[in-house]
C-alpha cells in the first residue's frame, strides 16, 4: 500500500476509531444526540481530522452518501457557489431525511458569499445541517460563528500517534521496529494525517536510520532556523526577525520551514495553556504548507513578516 491509500484507508469510519480530541468528540456527540444545533464549526491545525469528524457527525445524523455535499472553499468560495448550495437546501431530500454540507477551508469564503449563507445558517430547514472546517477560525465572520457549535481540534501527542500507527500496522498484519514508529510519531508533529503519510513511506524500512532517510528527516540542531522560531514565538519585533533572516538568506527555504514548524509544534505539545493556540496558530499555519519562491521574494521572509503582522493584531 502506498502513501495516499494509507491516509484514505485508515481514516476513521466510526467514533471508536477516532484517536485523540476525546473531549471534543464527547461534547459533539451529545449535541448531535440532542439535535440542538444545525451548524458546526471545526477549527484546528492542518491534518488533525476536522473534515473526518465532520463526516462522522453527518453520518450520525443520518446523512446518506447521496445527501452529503462536500465543498472545497479554497477553490469554490464565491457568492455564486454559496448561493447554489443554499438553493439545494430549500427542498427536502428525495431519499433519506437529512442533508449535510461540509465546507472545507471555509476561511477562504468571501465576505459577500458568507452574507449569502447567513440566512440559511441562521434558519435552516429541519433536514439541513452545516459543517464548516478551517485552520483559521478568526477569519470566519462572527455572525457565522455565533450561530455554530464550535469545536477546536488539537494536535495529537506522541503517544496518541503511536497508538494510531500501531493500530494501522495491526490491521495490515505488519510489524515495524518500535524505533521507526517512534520516529514517525515525532516527525508528524501532532498530525495524524502526516503520521499516516510517513508510515506509508517507511513501511518496508528495516531500521530507524533507513526510515529517517525515507522521510527526509532534518538534523535536530539547526541554530539559525530555531532562533527564528523562538523569535516568532516570543513575538519579537521586525528588526530582530530581520537580523536572523539575513543569516538565513542563503539557506534552503524548505529546510528552514520544516525546522520552524517542528519547533512551534513541540512548544504547543509541551504546553497545556490553551491561550497559546490563538498566538501560535497563525505561525503554525504560515509554515505548515510547502512554500516556494514567488516573484523573487523569499517565502521565509514573507511568512515571517505575516507572523509579525498577525502578532501585532492579536496583541
Task: Kindly report, residue by residue over 224-239, the tens digit of the pLDDT.
Answer: 787 888 888 888 889 9
Answer whether 149's CB lies under 8 Å from 28's CB: yes
Distance between CA 89 and CA 127 in Å, rounded? 8
What integer pLDDT is reported at residue 2 of this predicted model? 43
In this structure, the dihedral spanned by the alpha carbons of residues 172, 173, 178 and 182, taken in order and rounded to 10 degrees, is 10
Q: What are the cell numbers at 81?
A: 457557489
pLDDT of 5 > 70? The answer is: no
pLDDT of 312 > 80? The answer is: no
Distance between CA 17 and CA 10 in Å, rounded? 9
What integer pLDDT is reported at residue 195 of this predicted model? 92
Q: How far apart are the first and last CA of the chain?
A: 47
Domain 21-152 is found in CATH 3.30.930.10: no
pLDDT of 99 > 90? The answer is: yes
CA distances from residue 233 to 17, 45, 261 in whole angstroms, order as listed: 34, 16, 11
pLDDT of 63 > 50? The answer is: yes
What integer pLDDT is reported at residue 310 of this predicted model? 81
Window from 54-68, 106-120, 186-200, 254-268 with minimum mean pLDDT: 254-268
* Confidence band for 309, pLDDT divided at 50, 70 and 90: confident
* Confidence band for 314, pLDDT divided at 50, 70 and 90: low
- Report CA Rg, the chain: 21
CA distances from residue 59 to 7, 11, 71 in whole angstroms, order as listed: 20, 14, 17
Q: Average pLDDT over the chain, rounded to whole? A: 85
pLDDT of 74 > 60? The answer is: yes
What integer pLDDT is reported at residue 216 of this predicted model? 66
Boundaries of every domain in the chain: 21-152, 223-314
When pLDDT is averaged across residues 49-53 and rounded to a whole number, the result is 95
What integer pLDDT is reported at residue 293 of this predicted model? 52
What integer pLDDT is reported at residue 121 of this predicted model? 94
pLDDT of 221 > 60? The answer is: no
CA 214, 176, 167, 1 torsion: positive or negative?
positive
Q: Is the pTM of this model over 0.85?
A: no
CA distances from residue 133 to 22, 221, 262, 314 in whole angstroms, order as listed: 18, 35, 23, 22
Distance between CA 123 and CA 127 in Å, rounded? 11
* Confidence band for 131, pLDDT divided at 50, 70 and 90: very high
Residue 107: φ, ψ to 5°: -65, -15
pLDDT tens digits, one per residue of 138-186: 899 999 999 999 999 999 999 999 999 999 999 999 999 999 999 999 8
When pLDDT is averaged across residues 190-196 and rounded to a whole number, the result is 91
Amino acid at each position: 500500500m502506498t502513501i495516499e491509500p494509507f491516509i484514505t484507508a485508515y481514516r476513521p469510519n466510526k467514533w471508536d476509531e477516532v484517536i485523540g480530541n476525546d473531549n471534543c468528540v464527547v461534547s459533539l456527540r451529545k449535541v448531535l444526540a440532542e439535535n440542538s444545533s444545525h451548524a458546526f464549526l471545526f477549527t484546528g491545525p492542518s491534518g488533525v481530522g476536522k473534515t473526518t469528524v465532520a463526516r462522522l457527525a453527518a453520518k450520525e445524523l443520518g446523512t446518506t452518501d447521496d445527501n452529503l455535499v462536500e465543498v472545497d472553499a479554497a477553490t469554490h468560495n464565491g457568492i455564486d457557489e454559496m448561493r447554489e448550495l443554499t438553493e439545494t437546501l430549500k427542498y427536502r431530500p428525495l431519499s433519506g431525511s437529512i442533508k449535510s454540507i461540509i465546507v472545507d477551508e471555509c476561511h477562504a469564503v468571501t465576505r459577500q458569499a458568507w452574507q449569502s449563507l447567513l440566512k440559511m445558517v441562521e434558519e435552516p430547514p429541519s433536514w439541513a445541517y452545516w459543517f464548516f472546517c478551517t485552520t483559521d477560525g478568526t477569519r470566519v465572520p462572527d455572525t457565522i460563528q455565533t450561530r455554530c457549535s464550535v469545536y477546536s481540534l488539537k494536535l495529537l501527542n506522541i503517544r496518541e500517534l503511536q497508538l494510531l500507527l500501531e493500530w494501522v500496522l495491526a490491521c495490515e498484519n505488519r510489524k515495524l521496529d518500535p524505533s521507526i514508529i517512534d520516529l514517525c510519531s515525532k516527525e508528524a508533529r501532532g498530525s495524524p494525517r502526516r503520521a499516516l503519510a510517513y508510515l506509508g513511506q517507511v513501511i518496508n524500512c528495516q531500521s530507524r536510520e533507513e526510515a529517517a532517510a525515507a522521510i527526509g528527516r532534518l538534523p535536530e540542531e539547526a541554530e539559525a532556523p530555531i532562533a527564528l522560531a523562538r523569535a516568532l514565538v516570543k513575538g519579537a519585533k521586525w528588526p530582530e526577525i530581520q537580523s536572523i533572516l539575513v543569516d538565513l538568506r542563503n539557506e534552503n527555504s524548505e529546510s528552514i520551514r520544516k525546522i520552524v514548524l517542528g519547533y512551534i509544534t513541540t512548544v504547543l505539545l509541551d504546553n497545556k495553556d490553551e491561550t497559546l493556540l490563538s498566538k501560535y496558530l497563525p505561525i503554525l499555519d504560515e509554515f505548515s504548507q510547502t512554500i516556494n519562491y514567488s516573484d523573487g521574494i523569499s517565502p521565509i521572509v514573507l511568512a515571517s513578516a505575516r507572523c509579525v503582522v498577525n502578532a501585532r493584531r492579536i496583541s
